[in-house]
Amino acid sequence: MTQSAPAAGPMPHPSSAHPEATSARVVAVIVTYNREQLLGECLDALAAQERRPDAVVVIDNASSDASGTVADEHAIAADVVHLHRNVGGAGGFAAGIARALVRHDADWVWVMDDDTIPRPGALAALLQALEASPVRLSVLSSRAVWTDGRDHPMNTQRTRLDAGAQEKRDAARAGGRPIRTASYVSAFLNGEDVRRLGLPYADYFIWSDDFEHTGRLLRHGRGLQVPSSVVEHRTVLFSNAQSNPGSRFYYDVRNRLWALLRTDSFSVWEKAVHGGSTAVGWAKQLARHRGDLIGAGAHGVVSAVRRGPRPSADVLSADGEAAADVRTIERKAGR
């Protein structure tokens, strides 16, 4: 039942590092769907960064409001891709990251949702941490807060469980702490590693695409959460997305099972730990919202057992350019 990821291959020696942080080509990728006001605020915040991205890619997920127009007309002059159908956050990020790498030659890809508002200095802080790190990094992430400044429960990132004393010291020297996965609310991805290991699975649609993808990048790489890089996650409520997901519980179940059973993004013991904590979380949700979730959860289990995710280029087949970009990266990664 396991679909193996391509071998990670030898990691570059820490001393080979990335391009100098000050000269690294950074491309921001935003996925939007029917959030014209928040998208405008997100783009305003990117334009106001003291160190701006070198390019911005916006994936308009077939919005029915004016989100696409907002992106087209904003002064930041984003490269806007208008998809013909909504492929969810997962499909949008697969398309956007691929475009950043193929068409904008990104060294680093800064991914975020359209309701993510980077505070001043958010990108500069990520680059400062990258430059200060004594070891090579694959993923960095920001601290995500709600509108009142509290840490957002939807984007909690735990310290890497198996991080040794040296890894923690290395992270502290760069002003952060070691992590094993990161949220796409604000994740900074090493373009070299994405080219080597591939893109997120578009077929996840929503949820756990970032968990699996950053888990893949960090299976043999180093990750850093940078508290001095702050973004606001402007959700309507201060809550976890899975508090009562209703019919979307299907994606939560299917995708988490895909990530844990059909990939090599996590070790056996990590799968056991994540699987156990996930099962406990699902049990609590079912106890609170049994009638709303049982059918969707059972459907998710059946779907995960029947098949794994389709190739991302197939999911994006309605949009030829996006599918071609994805195919280019996935072929290089041997996926």
Identify the pLDDT of residue 63.
Answer: 98
Residue 278 near residue 301 (C-beta atoms within 8 A):
no
Residue 1, pLDDT score:
38
**DSSP per-residue codes, 154-183:** GG--PBPTT--HHHHHHHHHTTSEEBS---
- Tell me the C-alpha distance between 124 and 130, whole Å: 10
**Taking a C-beta distance cutoff of 8 angstroms, is the pair 151, 240 a contact?**
no
Distance CA 87, CA 67 (A): 16
3-class SS at 117?
strand
pLDDT confidence of residue 240: 65
> What kind and span of H or E run contains 56?
strand 55-60
Residue 1: how many other CB atoms lie within 10 Å: 8
pTM for the structure as a whole: 0.93
pLDDT at 237: 83
- Average pLDDT across each block of 10 residues of the chain; the chain has 335 residues. List them in order: 43 47 93 98 98 98 98 98 98 98 98 97 97 97 94 84 95 97 97 98 97 97 98 86 79 98 97 95 87 91 98 98 98 95
Coil, strand or helix at 95: helix
Confidence (pLDDT) at 4: 43
Domains, in order of start, for the chain: 14-240+309-332 (3.90.550.60)
What angle (nearest 5°) sits at the alpha carbon of residue 101, between those of residues 179 and 42? Answer: 70
pLDDT of residue 232: 97
Q: In this predicted structure, what is the pLDDT of residue 243?
A: 62
Say which residue the tokens 């996935």 belong to. Answer: 330
